[in-house]
Amino acid sequence: MQGTKMLPADEAMWLAVDDVEAASELRRQEAATRADELRRTVADLASGHQVTVEDVAVAKTRVAEAHIRARRAHLAAAEQHRRTAEAHEYAAQTHSDAATRGIGHVPTHLEAVKMYRAARDAEYRAAERDQRLAERE
């Protein structure tokens, strides 16, 4: 393409990483602004200052939005824990199969099975916890 500079793959990757980081920073700044607005309104209410109906409406909206974001985050975390638990189960099954077939060092495979199943159980517990947290939001 004439007039278009093609970037090396690694440079393009770093630009993409920079974009993600910039977006994350923007989200953090927006969250801080929302939190500051809510704190000011709550402080005004607590100190007996007059607040407008609009201020209260904004505060209620911010609280509702925060609950929605928290619910989404808990649901996403629960899903990630379930996927990780499934990966641990797959690893445990792979080591169990290897031990059954006598491939490699069997005691090491059996120890790995125990470790991966314990990790799987911990991930499922974490998924259940995050699911409960999401339901409470």
Q: Where are the alpha helices (DSSP H) in 3-137?
A: 9-46, 53-101, 106-136
Q: What percent of the chain has pLDDT over 90?
A: 46
82 touches 127 (CB < 8 A): yes
- For the cut 80, the answer to whether the pLDDT of residue 115 exceeds it is yes
**Residue 101, in any domain of the structure:** yes
Domain of residue 91: give its range.
19-136
pLDDT tens-digit map of 18-71:
555 666 777 778 878 887 887 888 788 788 888 788 888 888 888 888 888 889
Q: What is the pLDDT of residue 4?
A: 46
**Residue 7, in any domain of the structure:** no
Q: Which of 61-65, 81-85, 95-99 has the lowest mean pLDDT?
A: 61-65
What's the one-letter identity of residue 66? A
**Residue 66, in any domain of the structure:** yes
**Residue 3, in any domain of the structure:** no
Alpha carbon distance 130, 76 (integer Å) = 9
Q: What is the pLDDT of residue 113?
A: 97
134 touches 78 (CB < 8 A): yes
**Residue 58, in any domain of the structure:** yes
**Residue 13, in any domain of the structure:** no
DSSP state for residue 52 in the 8-state scheme:
-
Q: What is the pLDDT of residue 90?
A: 97
Q: What is the pLDDT of residue 14?
A: 46
**Residue 14, in any domain of the structure:** no
Alpha-carbon distances of 73 from 41, 81, 103, rounded to whole Å? 25, 12, 42
- For the cut 80, the answer to whether the pLDDT of residue 109 exceeds it is yes
